[in-house]
Structure 1
Amino acid sequence: MSIKCILLDEQNNLIDYADLSFLGSGVTFLVPYEEVTLNQFHEGEKVVFQVEDKFNQIFDADITEISYGKLHLQEVRNLAPLLHRDVRVEVDMKTTIFYTKNGKDIPVEVQLRDLSCGGMCIVCKEELSAENEYEFLTNWIDTPILVKFKILRREEASYNQFAYGCEFLGLLRTEECLLRASVFKIQAINYRRKRMDENDAV
């Protein structure tokens, strides 16, 4: 049996795709799509991998042997119950956030620069107050949700703009799951696009 997975580095970036295989003798191994990927690993180290499109199925394992294009594994551990890995991906999307002033909803057009299931970075020309509570609609996922957030920090960005680091507030478990799944999906799309660009350049 073979399961399609993605390999993650310490920064939760995609390294490569891989096939996860189980043999009847209890042997488990990963076969990366690109043989050069094997050079990034060593015996005795751990490898982290996620079942593709299954954000809640993420594992680590000990590498016991590297041979014939395979990473041989032992002590495979499901990280999902322990998982607080805030996977963050770079994005480039326009969206509208809102805050309330004098009983009226004030819209602000912003550029979304990075995203995780716990927060995001936005860029805009407006000077936003950290004392306000904001909200926006996640219009990039199949089931959009209204997310409330607060501003943690502000930095100056280029072209007379400001960059804001934001933290999501009061997410339900189901909403957090939807966001986490969308982050992994965006990450996979970015990786595929990068690989296609690399192949076109060859």
Structure 2
Amino acid sequence: MASNKDQKDNKNRKYLMLDSRGDAIARGILERVTDGELWRLRVTEGTADEVMGHNNISLVGDAENSPALEGRIVRREGDVVFVEPVRQLEESVRQNLRIPVRFVTYLYAVSGSWKGRVPIVTNDLSCGGLAFFCPRKLEVGEIVEVVITVTSQPLVLTMRILHTRPGHTEGDFYAGAFVDLVREEESMVREAVFSIQLQKN
């Protein structure tokens, strides 16, 4: 569990609130931690009513150094909800927060035997990578560049192909992990994932 000092250091940071299924229900700003160590979160997207419909929620910060935790809903005051931290969650919760999103974009060859670019159709996006359909055969371990268009500004990110599954009308299914992201790129991808996740729920 994060210490009270660590929690207070996270004041004014944005958090995505997830239900027990991992679906986004709201976003909020941590205003302060009370003396009783309750987190005071002001709901900024979604509604406090939706949050209060749950006993426990997961809180995932949009900053890399914001702790992810599970908390118990205690009470509300207007659009502010009070959450009692129950346990800290692994960093992988934020990294693996995956949202279905479909858009057409392009891969560019880096380390493979092919050259040029190829269109792909995305399947889902996470802070750590992308799943997509591609008509060209790619090798596991191959390095490519991909254009991400759902961020506030289009990004060209380097990605390593992790695994593949054949047999789809739009091409084989691939999953890739982003590599060598700079902090600004990581922040933009995380913001896009959080925003799209909330819009879909």
TM-score, length basis structure 2: 0.66
Contact between 1:154 and 1:162, CA under 8 Å: does it hold in 2?
Answer: no
Cα 1:96–1:4 change in 2 (3 A) is closer
Q: How big is each residue's C-alpha offset from its partner over 1:54-96, in whole Å with a ceiling of 9 and x where there is no partner?
A: 35424325427335566433347765xx412211122222222
**1:152 maps to which of 163, 167, 191:** 163
1:109 counterpart SS class: strand
Cα 1:91–1:19 change in 2 (3 A) is same
Query: What stretches of structure 2 of length at least 5 have no aligned partner?
Result: 1-10
Partners of 1:12 and 1:183 lie apart in 2 by: 18
Cα 1:145–1:56 change in 2 (3 A) is farther
**1:92 maps to which of 78, 102, 108:** 102
Partners of 1:22 and 1:133 lie apart in 2 by: 45
**2:188 maps to which of 182, 187, 192:** 182
Partners of 1:71 and 1:48 lie apart in 2 by: 13
Contact between 1:154 and 1:165, CA under 8 Å: does it hold in 2?
Answer: yes
1:92 counterpart SS class: coil
Give 1:38 shift.
0.9
TM-score, length basis structure 1: 0.66
In the alignment, structure 1 residue 30 sits paired with structure 2 residue 30: no
2:195 counterpart SS class: helix
Number of residue-to-residue matches in the alignment:
180
Give 1:2 shift.
6.2
Query: What stretches of structure 1 of length at least 5 have no aligned partner?
Result: 196-202
1:137 counterpart SS class: strand
Cα 1:193–1:36 change in 2 (3 A) is closer
Q: How big is each residue's C-alpha offset from its partner over 1:28-77, in whole Å with a ceiling of 9 and x where there is no partner?
A: 33354331321122xxx4x32234x5354243254273355664333477
Higher Rg of the two aligned structures: 1
- One-letter amino acid matched to 1:147: T
- Percent of aligned positions that are identical: 16
CA RMSD in angstroms comes to: 3.6
**1:83 maps to which of 52, 77, 91:** 91
Give the alignment of 1:1-202 within 5 angstroms. Answer: 4-10=14-20, 12-22=22-32, 25-26=35-36, 27-32=38-43, 33-41=47-55, 45=56, 47-51=57-61, 53-63=62-72, 65-66=74-75, 71-75=81-85, 82-85=90-93, 86-99=96-109, 100-101=112-113, 105-126=115-136, 128-130=137-139, 133-140=142-149, 141=151, 142=153, 144-157=155-168, 160-168=169-177, 171-172=179-180, 175=181, 177-178=183-184, 180-191=186-197, 193-194=199-200
